[in-house]
Amino acid sequence: MTDTPHPCRVLIHGASGRMGQALLRLAGERDDLTVVAAIDRSTPSQRVVDGIPHFSADELGGVPAFDVAIDFSLPAGFDRILALCVSRGRPLVSGTTGIDEGQREALARAAATIPLAWATNFSLGVAILNELVERAAQALPGWDCDIVESHHVHKLDAPSGTALTLGECAGQGGATPRYASLRAGDIVGEHTVQFTGLGERVELVHRATNRDIFARGALHVASRLVARPPGQYRVRDLLD
């Protein structure tokens, strides 16, 4: 991975979606990254939009050379972008949530040959919240732990991937979390981790008001991942 040219060539998978559009816009503001391929199942066939080559999901095998792929699609598209990155020996940043146990195992296998950063949330605030939740769970043994998440009505998976990761952190601290999900309007993403004892309650809250935070985080992680050896990385491993 040491032969990465400047700017770094990025492939975006799920490019027509809410996150894909944010990634395309924000990548265009950086001079260290250039998008060489935008892929989506909704793209009819190869065409160039604003100077960026767009491809349909069926054309995945024929996309040009790239240095790192960023995937924010849906679980059905995840296997193919992972396979492409493994076959080309290129790093993958993926924020796709709702992937199943078999797909998590495929990620772990792929990490033997390529650098990977799969995360349910690419915001700095949630990277820190994960740590706070684990510490709170350790410090409050025996307290009830409830994770309440709210998202826009188009979100398909519930509980959210972020809620499940927060639950894993709470579990590492010794708590047994329960989950509640709300789907309403255009909420970008809100997570409350509530620890309840007798006569008192601690709440740790993260509110995302703009999905650019996830796109900026994923672009930052992509720019760092190209120089790393194969393995699985967390967002906090790649923060400056």
Q: Give the interface size with ligand NAD as a residue count (CB under 6 A).
A: 27
- In the complex with ligand NAD, which residue's Cβ is closer, 18 or 228? 18
Does residue 155 have an active-site annotation? yes
Check residue 130 for interaction with ligand NAD (CB under 6 A): no
Check residue 150 for interaction with ligand NAD (CB under 6 A): no
Instruction: Give me the 63-102 binding string for ligand NAD, x by CB under 6 A, dash otherwise.
Output: ---------xxx-xx-----------------xxxx----
Which residues from 13-42 bind ligand NAD, rule CB under 6 A? 13-14, 16-20, 39-42
Select which of 151, 191, 206, 220 is catalytic. 151
> Are the CB atoms for 175 and 118 separated by under 8 Å?
no
Catalytic residue numbers? 151, 155
- Chain contacts with ligand NAD (rule: CB under 6 A): 13-14, 16-20, 39-42, 57, 72-74, 76-77, 95-98, 119-122, 211, 214
